[in-house]
Amino acid sequence: MVKVGVAGYGVIGQRLADGVALQKDMELVGVADIAPTLAVRALKEKGMPYKFYNSLPENQKLLEDAGIPVSGTLEDLVQQVDIMLDATSAGIGAKNKEIYAKYNKKAIFQGGEKNSVADVFFHGYANYEKGVGKQFLKLTSCNTTGLIRAVDCLDRVVGIEKVAITIIRRVADPGDYHRGLTNALQIDKAPNHQAVDLMTIMPHINATGILVHTPVTHGHIITVVATPKKKISKDEVLKAFNSHDRIRVVRIADGFLGNASLFRYARDLGNPRGDMYEIAIWEESIVESGNDIMFAINIPQESVVIPETMDAIRAAMEMQTNGAEGVAITNKYLGMGKWK
């Protein structure tokens, strides 16, 4: 049983803790944060299903005044685990790495950290074997994670030469205020980092892209134009996507009109927080343009990286050294593909 700790109990950290708790061959030792945030207060109100550790000792009284039971410090947590999942704010993970290294522990960092923090820039499907046995892994961002799932899926079937993407990016997570309220679209310079990151993970594919920030909170949408190495039909593309346990093919005709439809459907399914681990691809968006294939993906930014993080634990801890075996077990415990 691999023992896991989570540093940073925010948007991603909460979901990582839940994801680990679902893995039958892992044990969640505890979670760490610095203050009685709303997420930590909710943890207390739920009866403290996870032990809580204080990452900032000078905040001990603040936590005590909020009635948060504290089991120790971040260093106490690190000493009890085999591997840490770091979901802290960008830059904090690099500082925490010093603690992980001090106790010779393995760690997995999220997409906000610089690539230099880790030994391997990791994706469960595209380069699982490169992460096997490594001490420090870094996940791709939410958009890059979902994008690689779809591109890798087709690449395995027909080979992909290049992709051009446009990302319609949500401006902030639900409940966030730091970006303010806007009535504007903002464009970033090309190529966006997701295209560059895809090429880092899959160097045999030429990728470029444009990103547009939009004043919404529930999910990103990415349009992809993929150039295959040989002609592939829409039916063959559909078959490939339908066979992938982390891709849900949906239809506009069935009422999936956009990102809000998918978020509502996840809530109607009773998924905690309305989370979706899978990306969605609209069937009606898949079109042939000469030899190219175009399609559109929905990225549920709060939860899409959870499966790949579970894969990273499996690779780093050598629980499974074969990628296909590792992702299959993650999928099983997370219930991926159950809608088929």
Q: How far apart are CA 255 and CA 219, in angstroms?
A: 17
Does 86 belong to an annotated binding site?
Answer: no
Compute the C-alpha angle 28/32/35, nearest 5°.
145
Pair 88, 8: CB distance under 8 Å: yes
Give the strand pairing for 160-170 and 206-214. parallel
Active-site residue among 142, 296, 306, 313? 142
Does residue 273 sit in helix, strand or coil?
helix
Q: Is 217 exposed, middle or buried (0-12, 13-18, 19+ CB in 10 A)?
A: middle
- For residue 158, give both structure tokens: 């027909």
Q: Give percent helix, percent strand, percent coil of the chain, each to the nearest 5.
A: 40, 25, 35
Q: How far apart are CA 84 and CA 5, in angstroms?
A: 5
Q: How far apart are CA 187 and CA 211, in angstroms?
A: 6
DSSP codes, 168-204:
EEESS-TT--TT------EEPPSSPHHHHHHHHHSTT
Closest C-alpha to 221, from 292, 170, 149: 170
Instruction: Say which residue the tokens 């051009």 belong to.
Output: 164
Active site annotation includes 153: no
Q: How large is the angle between the packed helices 193-201 and 142-157, nearest 10 degrees?
A: 50
Q: How far apart are CA 166 and CA 190, in angstroms?
A: 10
Which positions make up the binding site?
33
Active site residues: 142
Which positions make up the binding site for NAD(+)?
33
